[in-house]
Amino acid sequence: MQSALASQVPAELRERFNAARNVLVLTGAGVSAESGVPTFRGGGNSAVWKGMPFDEISSARMVERDLPAVWEWFDYRRGILQEIAPNAAHVAIARWQHKFSGFSLVTQNVDGLHQKAGSREVIEVHGSIWRARCIACHERVGIPEHGSRPLDCNNCGDRLRPDVVLFGEMLPEGAFELAADKASECELCLVVGTSALVYPAASLPEIARAGGAYLCEVNPERTPLSDFCDVVLTGKAGELLPLLEDGPRL
Ligand code: OAD
């Protein structure tokens, strides 16, 4: 007998998933929710750091005004993430890079959990909390999970800032263009755990659909994208994504 969750996965989606060669997965904060990382919207209060709302401490303005305070907030977040493990959704997505001949993972997340689960060549449209960037020459440097964070740029000696897209900033050059190219080529596009409100990332499913892709959303809540999708799987990514794969039906 099929579980209520498994019965949500229509036969057409399973068939397309098994036959597809070119697949794109777009993820947002919801894919990390089951690992214990809070989302930005929905399900409670938004983050506040020392009395400052998230969108103020994580803003371009704050980098100019008080870079050490911005680092304090990002150091705190990295400290929490060190203890956090990928969940079944990250793990399933990491398996898929070996299943499809053309596979792209585009994430709005900066937490590095896709990579921790084994995903490679992740297109990070909002940057990574595990990298710093020079404010002058833009040289990037990795931040080790354990051990101290580099303080100054190795190349020019100027100050480093988090290599993350902050409120009021543009996306890193090239990342969105690459994601848009991949979206226009895919046959199947899975949109997982994003409120689909923040552009331009939210336009990727539209680009995929315009290129003829079958669009599937995985989210416990409806989003502005839901009505536009071929199929909506309502529930948690960690429970639903593994059900798309071959194997015994529950
Ligand atoms: P949001 O916090 O806006 O949305 C998270 C979505 O995940 C919501 O639609 C939830 O319903 C859904 N969700 C929650 N738990 C889930 C689960 N277990 N499985 C699947 N979905 C679940 O996060 P994003 O859409 O990623 O940008 O936000 C986009 C961008 O807004 C972020 O990257 C960030 C923020 O401004 C930057 O920091 C530049």
Distances (CA, A) of 37 to 71, 119, 125, 129: 19, 18, 18, 13
Partner residues linked to 215 by β-bridges: 189
Q: What is the per-residue pLDDT across 90-100, written as a single tens digit (0 to 9) for each?
A: 999 999 999 99
Q: What is the per-residue pLDDT across 175-219, written as a single tens digit (0 to 9) for each?
A: 999 999 999 999 999 999 999 988 999 999 999 999 999 999 999
Domains and CATH numbers, the chain: 2-36+85-126+171-244 (3.40.50.1220), 38-83+128-164 (3.30.1600.10)
Q: What pTM was estimated for this model as a whole?
A: 0.94
- Are 116 and 130 a contacting pair, CB within 8 Å? no
Q: Ligand 1 in contact with 194 (CB < 6 A)?
A: yes
Q: What is the per-residue pLDDT across 2-19, written as a single tens digit (0 to 9) for each?
A: 677 888 899 999 999 999
Nearest-CA residue for ligand 1 atom 35 is 40
- Are 73 and 48 a contacting pair, CB within 8 Å? no
What is the number of the ligand 1 atom nearest to the C-alpha of 196? 25
Q: Ligand 1 in contact with 38 (CB < 6 A)?
A: no
Q: Ligand 1 in contact with 87 (CB < 6 A)?
A: no
Active site residues: 126
